[in-house]
Structure 1
Amino acid sequence: MSKSGAHPLAVSPSESRLKSSRARLLRTVALLSIFSAVTGCSAIDRLSQIGETPKLNAIENPTAQPGYKPVSMPMPKPEAVSYNPNSLWRNGSRSFFKDQRAHQVGDLLTVTVNITDTANFNNETQQNRTNTVDSGVTDFIGSKTLGAQAQKVLPGRLLTADGTSTFDGKGSIQRQETLQTNVAAVVTQVLPNGNLVVEGKQEIRVNYEIRELIVAGIVRPEDIQSDNTIDSSKIAQARISYGGRGQISDIQQPPYGQQVMDILLPF
């Protein structure tokens, strides 16, 4: 014990507040460090491109990209090609002449993207419930024969509860999308049943804005037209992406801080 009578390990209120302030400061610095690490590279890239047009991506091999996985689909048993004696025809042939349509890895075909999507949904749900519970004893151990003071102490109604629940939910969706364009795709894989896995990417730069169009999916050789084109509606497992990047796209996006707050804030 010290001369003043205080415990030597006791912490004064001012020291406690100081430690609390330091802890909050460290947490703030840690959060800012994490946020800076996440957005720093993107911000540096954007700063380095001030006054310059967005750079086009290099032409890449789709099968060599990280995360690429060959498509695996249910396949029938392969059939051997048979030739008839004294005949120019064989099973699986589509023409006596050379077919100019895509049929092997590396061939090109044109995908006609023609999307006209219109959706209109209007839903409403209503719910209303009222509950009342009233339970009691009219004469608890002869409370009526006792005095007024005793009746105040003894229970009359053991349980009284009222509940009301009301819910009214409405939802409405109105969507109309139209996309019409053409893009050349390359055959990246031939499945055992002859179907073709195709992927195409197109980038167009206009001033300081780049528009990107990506098309991928599985096509059937029979659906490819004689001019080596195919409609996007005939692509199975179709993945079509149309977007852009550049100054206009950056302005249309909220700042990084606001995006983080929208994710973290629960209200």
Structure 2
Amino acid sequence: MKKTRIFWVALYLTGCSRLDEVGKAPDFSPLEGSYQHHAMYSSPFPQTADMNDPSDASSLWTASQASLLGDRRASHRGDILTVVIEIDDRAEISNTTGRSRSGSQTMAIPSLLGIPQRLDRELPEGATVAEAVDTSSSSAFSGNGSVSRNEKLTLRIAATVVEELPNGVLRIEGQQEVRVNYELRELIVTGYVRPADISRKNEVTYDKMAGARVSYGGRGQISDFQQPRYGQQITDIILPF
């Protein structure tokens, strides 16, 4: 009884938390406290003595990113680069399974030194050892399955270098949110990239990202309407049939 009360109280509190959002547009996710925020506000690494030479200010051949021929690709914590996501995957799987089995067993003792006849007199009426066991069984199974999937996604998002690993690999993270009326669309991408895979345009494709995590979804009135109600989700989990 106590567990039932706790369940209904938890369900009520969950519903009340959502009631606060009625009539309001979904809030943006705060950037403060995220890895991007810390990377942006972190102190940059000190430059080398050669790059601080005043004579480099008038030269076209300096290695700084601000120079005319400098490399403007992201390479340090807090730098920004563009992630190009172009997914066009297609998968088709089909399989067929068939199985059948049959078996039979027969055991009888019609004659053995008169012993079966003596045993028949002691057995209940209609029972005899002349046909002691006669069984047969058969089973059959047939199954078909197929999967057809087609996914296409084309997106571009600015990401921030949030960490420089000891082996030179960069960990990046990007988040983009667009709110239209009462529906919020959000795109999140994280992963690891090598500086050598970043193009001269300061772009990197998602297929060159290790541990890539791409999330494209939304929240709001339309997204809530498309989801089953809490009660239906709970019954789908609890009910065994």
TM superposition score normalised by structure 2: 0.78
Aligned-residue offset at 1:171: 1.1
Cα deviation code 1:209-231 (max 9, x no counterpart): 11111101111111111111111
Paired position in structure 2 for 1:19: none
How far, CA to CA, are the matches of 1:161 and 1:154 in structure 2?
A: 16
CA contact (8 A) 1:62 1:188 kept: no
Aligned-residue offset at 1:135: 2.1
Paired position in structure 2 for 1:98: 70
1:98 counterpart SS class? coil
Aligned-residue offset at 1:40: 3.6
Cα deviation code 1:120-172 (max 9, x no counterpart): 11111111111212223222662675698667344333333322221112111
2:82 counterpart SS class? strand
Aligned with 2:150 (options 154, 166, 176): 176
Cα deviation code 1:163-215 (max 9, x no counterpart): 22211121111111111111111111112221111111111111111111110
Cα deviation code 1:49-81 (max 9, x no counterpart): 11111111111444499xxxxxxxxxxxxxxxx
2:144 paired with 1:167: no
Structural mapping, 1:75-154, within 5 Å:
97-139=69-111, 142=114, 152-154=126-128
2:238 paired with 1:259: no
CA contact (8 A) 2:120 2:127 kept: no
CA contact (8 A) 2:109 2:116 kept: no
2:223 counterpart SS class? helix
Structural mapping, 1:1-267, within 5 Å:
26=1, 30-31=3-4, 33-37=6-10, 39-63=11-35, 97-139=69-111, 142=114, 152-267=126-241
Unaligned runs of 5+ in 2: 38-62
1:242 counterpart SS class? strand
Partner amino acid, structure 1, of 2:163? Q
**CA spacing shift, 1:150–1:213, aligned 2, 3 Å:** same
How far, CA to CA, are the matches of 2:142 and 2:162 in structure 1?
A: 51
CA contact (8 A) 2:120 2:129 kept: no
- Aligned CA RMSD, in angstroms, stands at 2.7
How far, CA to CA, are the matches of 1:160 and 1:64 in structure 2?
A: 77
TM superposition score normalised by structure 1: 0.71
Could you tell me the percent identity over the aligned residues? Answer: 40
Cα deviation code 1:206-265 (max 9, x no counterpart): 111111111011111111111111111111111111111111111111111111111111
Partner amino acid, structure 1, of 2:109? V
Aligned-residue offset at 1:35: 4.5
How far, CA to CA, are the matches of 2:35 and 2:119 in structure 1?
A: 93
How far, CA to CA, are the matches of 2:36 and 2:195 in structure 1?
A: 24
1:59 counterpart SS class? coil
Partner amino acid, structure 1, of 2:110? T
CA contact (8 A) 1:140 1:155 kept: no
2:228 counterpart SS class? coil
Once the two structures are overlaid, the 10-residue window that deviates more, 128-137 or 198-207, is: 128-137
Partner amino acid, structure 2, of 1:230? V
